[in-house]
Structure 1
Amino acid sequence: MTPPRPVALVTGASSGIGEAFARALAARGHDLCLVARRADRLQALADSLTRDHGVAVLVLPFDLSEAGACERLLAAVDDAGRYVDVLVNNAGYSIAQSFDDVPWKAQQDFLMTLIVNACGLAHGVIPGMIARGGGRIIATASLAGFAPGVAGHTLYPGAKSLMMSFSQALDAEYRDRGLKVTAVSPGFVSTGFAAANGTDAVMADAPRRLFLTPEQVVDAALKANDAGRVIVVPGWWNALAAGLMRGLPQGLVRWILMKGSAKYHLAAD
């Protein structure tokens, strides 16, 4: 009897880095559970992956800003008779305006999506991974996770920093039990991220040489995870920036970032 293919659950899979993760994992022979709000985009991707790679794909249109979404999502996977071998916590966005210019519900939704349900998914899949002798958890963090907070995108650096520290903690706790945990921390990536938060016009002025493609980010993440590396910063210029943010006095780093990031801080609508 042919053993079942491993299953990868990818959040934020309808575009950008999430879609690139789905395509790369399908090419590796994984069945997929695709999670995002846009069911039509997920279904189109699922059809493409099945046609190109012969993998089974479960489309799961969930809103991860909702409380309890992680439990409902994993229950849907279980109801389909599958379990998660690879978890990719990729869903995310940012809020460019000042903290009090945005309703608290929107800030709460941000925390639910990037932190609460992401951690909840990890909490839900780890026991099964351990019981089966191993598994993989990958988080899409950000170069911003190395940075001190500045005006605008108020919760974003803290959320990404938490996901890096969370990944390191999971590695410390579960490496000896067969888990491989990685957080990938890119800088600029050519996706719809800026259009979603309203900074696309400003981002268009950034030098194209500083941008990575989603495929480059995913390739770096998967290679790092294969090798058991916990934190990976793709792109030598991003790695240099991360090193400087960690090595220079924080006051100096914060002053530089406040000057450079002011254009990404949008006024309230």
Structure 2
Amino acid sequence: MRRLALITGATSGIGLAFARVYASHGWDVVVTGRRQERLEKLVEEIRLRFGVEASFVVADLSEVGAPQRLIDYVTSLGRKVDGLVNNAGYGLPEGFIGNAFSSHEAFLRVMMHTPTELAYLVLPGMIEQKFGRIVNVSSLASYLPASPGDTLYAPVKAYLTRFSQGLHLEARDHGVHVSALCPGYTYSEFHDVTGSRERISQTTPEWMWMGADEVAREGYQAAEANRAICVPGAPNKFLSALLKIIPDDWALELISNHLRKMVR
């Protein structure tokens, strides 16, 4: 029987690309997101294009109990999760105090609690069968100090990167590969949703951007090679290395200067 991958946030961008990448390597996939029409189209495409099984679950990962419901769905198919891609995520515009605290609670649940819980739910089965793949889609932002107006994003991604490293060490002797994927600027709907597309496009050179397909391919390869951290793209690798050695106050000033350019 083919392996099965569960991929969250698969209606667009990196999550959608991951669904195609796993299917192209012969995995069955279960995809989840909030937009049913897009999930239906993706599942149909995967079945026809790659000849594997594909199904979807419409889910709001900010809801308590959503991770368990996803696992229950996979179990109802008579399957288990062999690969998990924790990709679902978004940004909150309008700053910290510009959003209701309930919005921050939902953000933290989607970005931190849900990927952690899903990993907790699938890891025992992976260890038992001595095979598993977990990819946590983090960000190059995990290497940066938090920026004003996006106060929670970088800290959440830093958690996801460090969580992945710890889980990588805990699981590696059991045939389970855990990787944190830390992309930089990626062509997707992320900046359209936050309303920052025009500003970022004007202030960020084209050589810093990558396509979602390329990012997903590198993430897949990193998980297969059991690399704890994957920073895709040469410019991003250089930046991540630089950010490890420069003082935080320098990094804060760099962020401040970049934000000033965006505001102009």
Shorter-chain TM-score: which interval? Answer: over 0.9
Q: Pick closer, same or farther for the CA change 1:263–1:140 going to 2, 3 Å.
A: farther
Secondary structure of the structure 2 residue equivalent to 1:42: helix
- Within the candidate set 208, 211, 217, 2:209 is matched to 211
Q: 1:73 Cα deviation (Å)?
A: 1.2
- Within the candidate set 12, 28, 53, 1:15 is matched to 12
- Within the candidate set 15, 23, 30, 1:26 is matched to 23
Q: Answer yes or no: is 1:73 the counterpart of 2:70.
A: yes
Secondary structure of the structure 1 residue equivalent to 2:239: helix
Amino acid at match of 1:240: F
Q: 1:224 Cα deviation (Å)?
A: 1.3
Q: 1:263 Cα deviation (Å)?
A: 5.8
- Within the candidate set 230, 234, 237, 2:235 is matched to 237
Aligned ranges 1:126-141 → 2 under 5 Å: 126-141=123-138
Alignment-derived partner of residue 92 in structure 2:
95
d(CA) in 1 for partners of 2:68, 2:98: 31
Alignment-derived partner of residue 112 in structure 1:
109
d(CA) in 2 for partners of 1:108, 1:161: 18
Secondary structure of the structure 2 residue equivalent to 1:151: coil
Q: Answer yes or no: is 1:251 the counterpart of 2:249.
A: yes
Secondary structure of the structure 2 residue equivalent to 1:209: helix
d(CA) in 1 for partners of 2:181, 2:12: 17
Q: 1:261 Cα deviation (Å)?
A: 2.8
C-alpha RMSD over aligned residues: 1.2
Deviations 1:101-127 (A, max 9, x none): 101111111111111011110000001
Deviations 1:181-210 (A, max 9, x none): 111111110101000111012122122221
Q: Pick closer, same or farther for the CA change 1:264–1:198 going to 2, 3 Å.
A: farther
Secondary structure of the structure 1 residue equivalent to 2:121: helix
Q: 1:264 Cα deviation (Å)?
A: 5.9
Amino acid at match of 1:82: R
d(CA) in 2 for partners of 1:93, 1:86: 22
Q: Pick closer, same or farther for the CA change 1:101–1:263 going to 2, 3 Å.
A: farther
- Within the candidate set 121, 134, 152, 1:124 is matched to 121
- Within the candidate set 180, 185, 188, 1:188 is matched to 185
Secondary structure of the structure 1 residue equivalent to 2:161: helix
- TM-score, normalization by structure 2: 0.96
Deviant stretches of 4+, over 2 Å: 261-265
d(CA) in 1 for partners of 2:220, 2:4: 15
d(CA) in 2 for partners of 1:240, 1:26: 31
**What is the aligned-residue identity percentage?**
35
d(CA) in 2 for partners of 1:125, 1:96: 32
Q: Which moved more, 1:241-250 or 1:82-91?
A: 241-250
Unaligned 5+ segments in structure 2 are: none
Answer yes or no: is the 8 Å Cα contact 1:199–1:264 preserved in 2.
no
Amino acid at match of 2:8: T
Answer yes or no: is the 8 Å Cα contact 1:152–1:264 preserved in 2.
no
Secondary structure of the structure 2 residue equivalent to 1:138: strand
Answer yes or no: is the 8 Å Cα contact 1:129–1:135 preserved in 2.
yes
Q: Answer yes or no: is 1:162 the counterpart of 2:159.
A: yes
Amino acid at match of 2:236: N
d(CA) in 1 for partners of 2:151, 2:221: 31
d(CA) in 1 for partners of 2:153, 2:65: 22
- Within the candidate set 29, 40, 45, 1:43 is matched to 40
Alignment-derived partner of residue 61 in structure 2:
64
Q: How many residues align?
A: 262
d(CA) in 2 for partners of 1:97, 1:235: 30
d(CA) in 1 for partners of 2:248, 2:18: 34
